A and B are shown apart, each in its own frame.
Chain A
Amino acid sequence: MAVNKNMRILVVDDFQTMRRIVINLLKQLGFGNVTEAGDGQQALDKVKNEQIDLIISDWNMPNMTGIEFLRGIRADERNKAIPFIMVTAEGKKENVIAAVQAGVNNYIVKPFNAATLKEKMIKVIGEF
């Protein structure tokens, strides 16, 4: 089934610069229906209040980290199927394992480019 390029994507990062980078790269890939959040708690609220089809989240954030946000998402039966990509500078093996155990669908290490983002998105949501 073809990927709907109008899917709602949630970009989570405490760094506004990073959110802009990801949003612009998504735009280059043809995905313009994007919403954003500055930490895990804000993101969790967004997921509760609107239909989200894909989450791209940073790990290190104040208030609620990416892994805590991921666990919060997966704790709710209704959100278990939302594809979740973790984007982070933390390349530690134990972090990757923890993220996988928490239910992450893929993992991108910074710095990354549009090609890597596309490759990971394809693995998670299918070819586009």
Chain B
Amino acid sequence: MTKDQKENFQAHLDRLASSKEEMVPISEVRQIIDAVRDMFEGNFQGEDLSMLGELGELARAINRARKELREFSPQALNDEHLPNASEQLDTIIKTTEQATGKIMDNCERLGGIHERLKERIAGSEIAASDPDLLASLDDAVSESQAYITEIFEACNFQDLTGQRIQKIVKTLREVERQVLRMVIVFGLNKEKGKSLDSETKEKMMNDAELLNGPALPGQSMEQEDIDDILDKLL
């Protein structure tokens, strides 16, 4: 509603309030009802719409980001454009899972080699003739084994990145859903000043609801914080 319209509307109400007539013409009642209905239906104009325009721009920016994400598909991963962002993110998870699997396969093979090396060294003549060399070789194998353990520990990333990617997708969807709902509630339309009809709004609202919301947000704690709680409770 523009400033002029607001002033006219207010003047109209003031005139009716000060009127000494007992009967209000039906045309005047209609005008008031129309004005109130316009407000409830989101028939915004002028400066009101500039604020809503920002909201619409935000919704479009999110949508653009999602489309760009959907369209980004490295040739090495897939020759075809992936149909949606979540599938693409699933592919990232699977690709890292496969790579992590190969890393762990090779670590396990190295572990096997270490075992065989230890057995060979222990059973060789070196063990009897040169105890220092034997200890040195043993230390080297143990050190190498420790590095393998560190590689296994580092492979934690695969599980965690997967979970975080899923959370990001859910959050993005929820932001988009909320912005979309606001746009629908305000009845924002490309054609300025024209509100969306209730049927269109309902359909859009249903579409918006199809976007899944995220799990309840919660503050994650570090291991030390967890330990503090455990110490208090256990």
User: Interface on A for B, CB 8 Å cutoff?
Assistant: 15-18, 20-21, 24-25, 27-28, 60, 89-94, 96-97, 100, 105-114, 116
Contacts and interface: CB of A to CB of B under 8 A. Distances in A.
Contacts of A96: 221, 226, 229-230, 233
A73 to B, nearest CB: 17
B101 interface: yes
A43 B226 CA distance: 25
B223 A17 contact: no
Given A21-B104, A92-B218, A100-B233, A110 B226 contact: no
Interface of B: 97, 100-101, 104, 107-108, 111, 145, 149-150, 152-153, 155-160, 162-163, 218-223, 225-226, 229-230, 233-234
A51 to B, nearest CB: 25
Given A20-B104, A92-B221, A96-B230, A25 B160 contact: no
Given A24-B152, A89-B163, A114-B153, A17 B158 contact: yes
Given A17-B158, A89-B159, A110-B160, A28 B145 contact: yes
Contact of A24 (B101, B107, B226): B107
B155 A21 contact: yes
A106 B230 contact: yes
Nearest to B103: A17
Contacts of A112: 153, 156, 223
Nearest to A20: B104
Contacts of A25: 149, 152-153
Contacts of A108: 223
Contacts of B108: 24
A110 B223 CA distance: 9
A18 B93 CA distance: 13
A21 B230 CA distance: 25
Contact of B159 (A27, A94, A110, A113): A110
A54 to B, nearest CB: 17
Contacts of B107: 24
B153 A113 contact: yes
Contacts of B104: 17, 20-21, 24
Nearest to B150: A113
A89 B165 CA distance: 13
A17 B108 CA distance: 13
A116 B234 contact: no
Contact of B223 (A21, A92, A116): A116
A31 to B, nearest CB: 14
Given A17-B100, A89-B160, A110-B156, 5 more contacts: A17-B159, A18-B159, A21-B104, A90-B220, A93-B229
A100 B234 contact: yes
Contacts of B222: 91, 109
A27 B150 CA distance: 13
Contacts of A89: 159-160, 163
A10 B101 CA distance: 21
A61 B123 CA distance: 47
A92 B226 CA distance: 9
